[in-house]
Structure formats: structure tokens, C-alpha cells
Chains A and B, each alone.
Chain A
Amino acid sequence: MNKIVFLVPLFPLLGFLINGLGRKSLSKSAIGIIGSGVILLSFLTSCYLFSIVASAGEGQLQTVVTLFNFISVDAFTIPFAFQVDQLSVLFLLIITGIGFLIHLYSSAYMKEEETQHFGRYFAYLNLFVFSMLLLVMGANYVIMFIGWEGVGLCSYLLIGYWFKNNDFNYAAKKAFIMNRIGDLGFLLAVFWLLFKLGTVNYGDVFSQVASLSTFDIAAITTLLFIGAMGKSAQIPLYTWLPDAMAGPTPVSALIHAATMVTAGIYMIARSNILFTMAPTTQTLIAIIGLATAIFAATIALKQNDIKKVLAYSTVSQLGYMFLGLGVGSYTGAVFHVMTHAFFKALLFLGAGSVIHAMHHEQDIRKMGNLKKYMPITHITFLLACLAIAGIPPFSGFFSKDEILAAAFTKNPLYYYIGVGGALMTAFYMFRLYALTFLGKFRGTHDQEHHLHESPSAMTIPLIVLAVLSVFGGFIGIPEVFAENKNWLEHFLSPIFAESTKLVTTEHLSHSQEYMMMGIVTVLIAVVIFIAVSKFKKYAGEQEEVETGVGKLLENKWYIDELYNSIVVNPINAFAGFCKNFIEKSGIDGAVNGVGKLVSYSSRQLRLIQSGQVASYLLIMILSIVVFFIIWFNDITIMKFLNKLF
């Protein structure tokens, strides 16, 4: 295993270097082949690792592979080490597998770019996968942090890929800075661990966790969660993700499905023992997750940009994952990460296919009836919508059900709100579907004329992902359908073993669970029906002006404006105050003031030098008198005078 492990991140790194340095000399097809090929190699290696991990018996697995000592100082040593166990190998498969499909898709989608930029694009993409692999494979929090910041950087580079557009650049900058806010939390948690335990290696941290005080654990987990908020776009740090749509569509697929946003989930699942021992933080996570799920879903209801809808749906789905983590269903969260990766990648790539066909038109009000022109895209997109809405037996149903069931056992209120969010999900997804693929075409004639199905390099990934979206859920079938057939839970059980020991979960009775599933499914089906029948007829003529809540939703609750006015603008104003006032008049004023004081007092002192000899003499005589008084103390003088007179 030793040798193989570091090949996984090495391939994308090589791809990055080759594509980055050879972007001017290589041809487009060479770049595409190298870019996708390295990810494929990495995927194959991951498969091999997976087979090792899956076949290894309990306790046989040597999981940590150290390459070299990254930082070694007196107080602590941080090895550059990789950890390949059940959890990371699962993520490796998701990242490299879906990553490969996205690369493949990109090679067709980005064909119109200049060769040089095409190479740059693939270099960034490879670097992105490399960073994500570091994040997942790192055997300690510092290596994870390297990947953590690395994906932030790559998202910055990719969101701002079309760098001539300054709006995109702002979006890129926003993503990076919002991520940095989270990263600070993560970093502080790392320092806290170093301070208290002197180590950041997962194995050592988790085995020594009992020696930490409750406050320490709560603080560390909260800080880690702040990190996760930034990376996984939770309230209040979620606003970068919808703006990240500025990048090319496959990049959105990569960010939303395979990499980046799942980092927060991975990190918490990885540190599950810490979080299990901090119930306060868990409650916080559950509440934030749920709030995000609902909040983002409401915004998605009213968005008209195809990618924006998907973006908010990602935020919302991530909320569910955090809800799962918060209620202690780590397997459920990881499961949802996986199924979400399938259908969200599919949705984004499908959306990309639509945008490609529509010549970069993203407004769904100007689409319609695309099923006639793009059959494959249409079918796969529909399957993805069904999966995300949670219709059985599509993958999303199983994973969402697992999270919601766990939420119900923790607190029924979580469950009810969660179901409300799920209904909204169904509604906005099918609104999107109906507006895009059904009804009548509302674009220009020119666009209609050019409508076409995408090339096979784009449709093959769609088909593969559709198959995964449909059948992917079966690896985590709930107990209620088949006793002991939940392969995923069994597979991941060594990772969450310690946490499972700590918490006793009561299971719902089968009849209750059947009933809940049934009701929810029916409700979702009804919502889908309403959405489809309502928006099928949408003709787009009437420019309805939204009022009240609708307007609020359309403008995303004015959160961006709120942040601008309570955070960005005050900081800017304060910085301006520092620059123009404190620095110029204050400190520099004081410095120059000292200089001015010196020259002013010299000017005043100069006046004493009047040139009048008499005044000099007077001063001289007075000085002599004073000198005498000081030199001979008054007693001596009095004695002398007494003697004299």
C-alpha cells in the first residue's frame, strides 16, 4: 500500500504541471487527454486502494503512510502523511470518479476557448482535484488544512477563470475571502489542539480526546464548524457559493458535487468523535444546518437563473448534510454527500449542456420545450430531479430519508422542518425542470435554430451519472427494507465506531418508518405535480413584478446587501478613517508635530539672542548671582553677610 498511496494525488499534480507549463505548446486534444487522463489514473489507483481497504479484515489495515516530516519543532511534529481508510477511500472514489467525468465533459464544453486558456483551465482543474485529494487523504489536520486552503485557491482561480469580467473577479475574491473567514476558525482549532494535545494527527487526537475538558472540546468543535461553514457554505458564510456560478459550468459541478463544499462534511465526519463528545456544538450544527436548508430552499423558489437555482439547492442540501451530522447520523451525512455528488453533478452538467445549446443563455424564463431538441439531457436531468426531490427508489430518497429519520429520533421538530424543506426542494427543482424542458420554447429564433444535443463527450458523463443517481442509493438501503443490507453503514462502521459507542440511538419501529416514508413520498409527488402543471403553461409574456415575500425571495432576502452594510462598508469606512485620519493626522501628525515643536521652540528661543550687549551682560550677571546662590547654600551666604554687616 505504501507506494501506491501517494500516486493518487501525484497524478493530478503532474497533470497540473504539464498542462500549466505546456499550455502554449500542447494541442487542445493533448491537453484534454492529459487533464482527464491523470484523473482517470488517479481514479483507478483509488479503486485499487478501495479494494485493499474493503478486503482488509478488522485491524489489519495499516492506514497511515508517512512521506516525510513536514514541520518538526520542539513542541510538536507534523508529518506529511496520508491516511487511507474507509472514509477517505470513499471520498477518493467520489472525487476522482466524478472528477474524471467532469474533466471529460469539460474537454468538450470548453472547446471554444483559446488553447492557452484551455490549458490553463485544465491545469486549474487538476490542481483543484489535487488539493481536494490532499484534504481528504491528509493524516492530520495540517495536511487537511493545506488541501482546505488549496481548494479555496483553486475555486478562486476557476471562478475568476474569465478574468476579463470584473464581476466574475469580484465573485472569485468573495469566495476566497469568505472561505478565509472559515479557515481562520479551522486554524484556531488546530492551534487549540496543538496547545492542548501537542499533536494534530487524527489517530493521536482521537485517542487522547478524553483528556480534553468539555470546554476545550466544545470550543475546538465550534471553531472547526466555523471552518466548515465557510467551506460548505452554511449560514452565515454561504453567500459566496451562489456567486461562484461565475465560473464555467463544469467548475460549478466540480465545486458543488465532487469537491470543495463536501470538505466541511468530510472534516466533521472525520472528527466525529470530537463532535459526538460536544453535544452543544452538535445542536448548533443541527440548527444551522436546518436553517440553511430551509433558508436556501426559499431563495431557490424564486430564482430564474438555471445555475442559481442549482446553487441554492446545493446550499440547501448541504444544510441537510449538516443536519445529519448534527443529529449524529454521520453515515447518513456521508451517504448524502455521495448521492448528492451524483445527482448534483448530473444537474450541473445537464445545465451546462442546456447552456451550451442555448449559447450561454442562463435565464430559464427564456427556455422551454428543450426535451424535443435534447433528449438525453432531458431524460438524465429528469432523473436527477427525481433523485434530488427524494422519490423512491432514486438515490436521494435513501440518503435524505436516513438523515430525516435520524433527525426524528433526536427531535421531531427537526424532522417536520426538514420535510418542509424537502417539499420546497421538490417544488423548485420541478419548477426548474418544467420551465426548461416543458412548455413551449421562449427563446429567440436564432437560438431555436441552433438547438442541438451536446456531443458525446458531454452526454456520456451525463448517462453515467444518471445511472449512479438512480441506483446509487442501494448501497445504503435502510434497515426497514432489508435487514443488515446497509452496505455503507457496515463499511464505514470502523470510522464511527467510537462515536456509536458513546451514543445509544433508539430505532423507530418499522411501521412508523413506513408510514413516514409513505406520507412524505405522497406529499412530494403532489408538490411535483403542482409545480409541473403550473409551470408547464408558463408562457413568459407577462412580466410579473414580484411584491412582498416574492420580491424578498427573488432578492435572496437581501443578505448580500445586509452583509455589505453591516460588515463590508463599516470595515471599509474604518480603514479609510485609519488611512486618512489616524495615519495622516494622528501618527504622522504627531511625528511631524515633534519636528514642528522643535523648530517652533528654536524660533522662540532665538528671540533672546537680541544682539544687545547689555542684555547679554544682564543675563550673565543674573546667572552668576543664581550660580552663587546655588553653589553656596543660603546658610553660608547669610553667615557671610552677617559677618560683613
Chain B
Amino acid sequence: MIALLLILTPLVAGFCSFAMKQGSTAKNFSLLVSIVTLAIALLAIGSPAGGSFDTAWLTDLGSRFTLKMDGMGKMLCLLTAVSYPLIFAAVYKSDYKNPGSFFGLMLLTQAGLMGVFLAADALLFYFFWELALIPVYFLCSLWGGEKRIAVTFKFFVYTFIGSLLMLVGILYVYFHTADHSFAMQSFYKAQLSDHQQSYMFWLFFVAFAIKMPIFPLHTWQPDAYEQAPTATTMVLSGVMVKMGVFAVFRWLLPIFPNAASSNSMIIIILSVTGMLYASLIAIKQDDIKRMIAYSSIAHIGLMCAAMFTNNKAAFDGVMIQMFNHGVNVIGLWIIADLIEKQLGTRKLSDLGGLAQKAPALAILLVIMALANVALPLTNAFIGEFLMFSGLFQYNMFIAAIAGISIILAAVYTLNMVQKVIYGNLNAVTENATDISFNVKLVLVIIALVIIVFGVFPQPMIDLTKTSVEALFVKK
């Protein structure tokens, strides 16, 4: 029941928000709702049995409305629940036209995301997958930047192609389940020859790879991140890309174990190529948002590679990195948004010397940057360490090559830090002021998360332990 509440709360609140004309009402309302959702999520994580819910849905088709909350689901629900209050608090001072609709759509996205992470039925999963996507389409096309139409179209076509391929795959597997059911367990037991697995594997993988995104299917992402309203970008890069990662664990690996292991080399090579490629491009980016976008692609590449190593330590790493990367990248976006809003530019070459005008911002940016380069005692280190150790056991040379991205990450991140906060003030940055209270609060919370989970990561590892073990139980 509690799992259902996680979806229903933002869903109902989202529809209510549409009716709100006043900007402040909508803001306060959605902030409140997101905090309530966070409380529910914490409650759900605290309950030992976890939330599960089951009711008849499309009975004729063999699909039931089944929600299940295992360790991995808990982790991602927590991420979704944590990120929304942070995002809403960070954009508290921003003005949007039609605020009721804006926040309503944001909440609908949250409902969709929760559903994706909780669904234990393939059709239900697909339903929520789309539910999360469609509000984003409107958010980007109505509140985005000047090139929003073209970019949103690209984003939509990309993800929609992925979704359709996945739908075909779902239906195919459905017809090969013993009891003609969409239930997760039936899918896991589906009888598929290696040949069939291989085809279906790619259908699913392309869908998830677009979402993550994996090289060379990533080109929608920097554009979308750049053009979407920042609150949406935070959802996109903080939480929504984790849908792809999560789905690989939830659906891809258990349904197609043979295809996953036989194709692992190709995917790992693609991912590692993507890591280095995105890192190199990030070095050359002058636009802070695009830089963060490419850096995010590089990080996701590592997660994708680690997912196909079939190594427990790497899986643990991916699990906690899903959460940590989400939180950290939201922090970076908040800072990027702040700079753009305040100074009117996203160009690194125009900036400089903010440490003199905004010391609090400078310190927090440095902490986020350090988490971005996965320095030890930040939360990102734990995940990357475990993932790299798994990748190393899979193949030393690939791990060594992937390791170059550690160096490149330092190059582009420090470059960004240097250009933004160090150096002398110039005409653009002269009138900068330090961050406002709400943003500072959000960033301090994120910084605390970074450090606390960097020093004590064990609770997070334990949270997902059962999910990792479940992935290794052969069907």
C-alpha cells in the first residue's frame, strides 16, 4: 500500500497543481508534496518487508497492477524522493509562466519515475516509462530555451524509438511466457533460445541505451540538457537517466542472461569508448551546461560498462553510484543554473573570479567538483572504486583504458572550477552576489550527502545487497 502511495501522492498532487493559478501557491504546494513523498519513501525504506501492492488491472491480457519494492527499487525511490524537494527548493525563487502546469507536470514525472522503479509487471513498467516521458516532452517544449522545439523533437523521437523497440520486445517475450502473463516473474522464466534472446536483448538494450545514454546514441542529451528548463534538466540527468540503468538490472539482465553475457564485450567497449569520447569533448566545452552533460555521459558510460561485467562488486558499485551520481549532478546543475540566471552567460570563458564575490558558492562548487572527479571520501569514489574493480576483473586492459577517464575527469572539472571561481573578476562577474539562502541550503544538504556517504557508504551497500544477490541467482 505504501508503494502505491509513493505513486499516487505525486500523481494526484500533480493534477491538483494544474488548477492552481498563483505561482507561489503552486510552488509551496509542490514543495510540500515532494517533502511528503520523501517522508513516505523514508517510511517505506524503513519498513522491513518493503512496500508491495497487487491488484487486478488488465486481467484479460495477463497484466496485473503489481508494485514491488526491493533494495534496488528502494534506492531509486529514495533518489527520486530526495531529488524533488532539492530541485523545488533550488528553483524556489525562479519564476515560470503557468506555474501550476509547470509544477504539475514535474510532479507527474515524479509519479512516472516512481512507477518505473516500483513496477513488477512489464506492461505496467512500460506504462510508467511513458508516463515519465510525456510530461518531460511538454516541459521542454513549453518552458525550454530558444532552440527548444527542435531539441525537444529530437529528444522525443529518440526516446520514442527506444520505447517502441522495447514495446515490441515486451510483446515478444510476453508471447513466449509459459502462462501468457506480463508479470515480472513470468518474464524471468520466459523460454527463449539463445538466438531469440540475442535479438530481443538488442531491442531492449537500445531502448535503455538511449535513455542512459550510451555512445553513440547520446546526441540528444547535451542538447536536451542545454535547452530544457533547469528543473527539468535536473530530473532528466539526476533521476531519469537512472531509469535506463535500473531497467538493465530489473529487466535486461534477468530476462536475457545468456545474451547479456555473450554481448557484454561489445557493450563494454562501446561504453568505455563513450566514456573517453565524452570526457574529451567535455574538455573542449565552453558551455558549462554542455560540459556537465558530457561529464554525465562519461559517468554513465562507466556504470553501463560495470553492469555487464557480471561481477558483484561492480553491481554494488553501480547501485550506489545510481544514487550518488543523481544527487551530485543535481548539485552541479543548480550551480550552473545559478550562474546562468545571475550572470546571463553559460560560457566558461566569460566567467572568472567568482570566489571573490561568492565564497560560499565557490566552496560548494569545489565540493561538487571533487565529487565529480570521484575523490576519495566523496560518495562518488565508492561507486567508481567498486565499478572499476569489477571492470578490472572482467578485463584489465579495458579497465586501464577506462581509467584514463579518471585523469580526463580531473582535467575538465578543474578547468571548469578554475574558469568559474578563480582568476580575476571581469565585466560579467563584477556584480555577482553570493547564493541565496534556499540554494545554499540545498547545496549544503547535497554536500553533506556527498561527504557522509563518502565516509560511511556501508548502509547504502547493504540496502541493495539483496538485489545484487538476486541478480546472481540463476533462473
On whether A and B touch (CB less than 8 Å), the answer reads yes
- Could you say which residues of chain A place their CB within 8 Å of the CB of B355? 163
Which residue of B has the minimal Cβ distance to A120?
Answer: B359
- Shortest Cβ distance from residue A253 to the other chain B in the assembled complex, whole angstroms: 24
- Give CA–CA (A72, B312) in the complex, Å: 12
Establish whether residues B411 and A164, one from each chain, have CB atoms under 8 Å apart when the complex forms. no
- Give CA–CA (A582, B399) in the complex, Å: 24
A70-B458, A73-B461 given; A591·B313 CB < 8 A: no
- Could you say which residues of chain B place their CB within 8 Å of the CB of A72? 458, 461
A150-B376, A177-B411, A188-B400 given; A575·B280 CB < 8 A: yes
The digit string for B404-428, where 1 denotes a CB below 8 A from any CB of A, is: 1011001100110010011110000
Establish whether residues B458 and A177, one from each chain, have CB atoms under 8 Å apart when the complex forms. no
Establish whether residues A150 and B284, one from each chain, have CB atoms under 8 Å apart when the complex forms. no
Establish whether residues A169 and B458, one from each chain, have CB atoms under 8 Å apart when the complex forms. no
- Does B448 make an interface contact (CB < 8 A)? no
Kindly name the residue among B154, B281, B370, B410 whose own CB sees the greatest number of chain A CB atoms within 10 A. Answer: B410
- Shortest Cβ distance from residue B338 to the other chain A in the assembled complex, whole angstroms: 19
A71-B461, A160-B422 given; A587·B219 CB < 8 A: yes
Establish whether residues A184 and B356, one from each chain, have CB atoms under 8 Å apart when the complex forms. no
Interface size on B, residues (CB 8 A): 54
Which residue of A has the minimal Cβ distance to B424?
Answer: A164
Which residue of A has the minimal Cβ distance to B400?
Answer: A188
- Could you say which residues of chain B place their CB within 8 Å of the CB of A181? 407
Establish whether residues A195 and B392, one from each chain, have CB atoms under 8 Å apart when the complex forms. yes
- Give CA–CA (A572, B359) in the complex, Å: 31
Residues 460-505 (chain A) with a chain B CB within 8 angstroms: none
The digit string for A125-154, where 1 denotes a CB below 8 A from any CB of B, is: 000000000000000001001100110010
Residues 137-164 (chain B) with a chain A CB within 8 angstroms: 154, 157-158
- Shortest Cβ distance from residue B314 to the other chain A in the assembled complex, whole angstroms: 10
A146-B376, A583-B281 given; A71·B386 CB < 8 A: yes
- Does B438 make an interface contact (CB < 8 A)? no
**B418 interface neighbour in A142, A150, A169, A191, Cβ under 8 Å:** A169
Which residue of A has the minimal Cβ distance to B276?
Answer: A578
Measured as residues with beta carbon below 8 angstroms from the partner, the interface class of chain A is 35 or more
- Give CA–CA (A68, B461) in the complex, Å: 14
**B392 interface neighbour in A163, A170, A183, A192, Cβ under 8 Å:** A192
Establish whether residues B375 and A149, one from each chain, have CB atoms under 8 Å apart when the complex forms. yes
Which residue of B has the minimal Cβ distance to A23?
Answer: B359
- Give CA–CA (A180, B377) in the complex, Å: 16
The digit string for A320-344, where 1 denotes a CB below 8 A from any CB of B, is: 0000000000000000000000000
- Give CA–CA (A74, B468) in the complex, Å: 10
- Give CA–CA (A456, B316) in the complex, Å: 55
Establish whether residues A191 and B377, one from each chain, have CB atoms under 8 Å apart when the complex forms. no
Establish whether residues A575 and B414, one from each chain, have CB atoms under 8 Å apart when the complex forms. no
- Give CA–CA (A73, B312) in the complex, Å: 8
Residues 438-470 (chain B) with a chain A CB within 8 angstroms: 456-458, 461, 468-469
- Shortest Cβ distance from residue B39 to the other chain A in the assembled complex, whole angstroms: 29
Residues 589-642 (chain A) with a chain B CB within 8 angstroms: 590-591, 595
- Does A576 make an interface contact (CB < 8 A)? yes
- Give CA–CA (A587, B284) in the complex, Å: 17
The digit string for A164-178, where 1 denotes a CB below 8 A from any CB of B, is: 101001100100110
- Could you say which residues of chain B place their CB within 8 Å of the CB of A145? 376
- Give CA–CA (A626, B220) in the complex, Å: 44
Establish whether residues A169 and B423, one from each chain, have CB atoms under 8 Å apart when the complex forms. yes
- Could you say which residues of chain A place their CB within 8 Å of the CB of B404? 184
**A188 interface neighbour in B277, B312, B399, Cβ under 8 Å:** B399
**B414 interface neighbour in A142, A176, A192, Cβ under 8 Å:** A176
Which residue of A has the minimal Cβ distance to B414?
Answer: A173
- Give CA–CA (A497, B269) in the complex, Å: 45
Establish whether residues B377 and A146, one from each chain, have CB atoms under 8 Å apart when the complex forms. yes
Which residue of A has the minimal Cβ distance to B461?
Answer: A73
Residues 366-385 (chain B) with a chain A CB within 8 angstroms: 370, 375-377, 382, 385
The digit string for A59-70, where 1 denotes a CB below 8 A from any CB of B, is: 000000000111
- Could you say which residues of chain A place their CB within 8 Å of the CB of B469? 74
Establish whether residues A575 and B418, one from each chain, have CB atoms under 8 Å apart when the complex forms. no
* 30 residue pairs A–B, Cβ–Cβ below 8 Å: A68-B458, A70-B457, A71-B382, A71-B386, A72-B461, A73-B316, A73-B386, A75-B313, A146-B377, A149-B375, A150-B376, A176-B414, A177-B407, A180-B407, A180-B410, A184-B406, A187-B406, A188-B399, A194-B392, A195-B389, A195-B393, A571-B280, A579-B280, A579-B284, A582-B277, A587-B216, A587-B218, A591-B158, A591-B219, A595-B157
What 3 A-B pairs have minimum CB-CB distances, sorted nearest first?
A191-B392, A146-B376, A575-B280
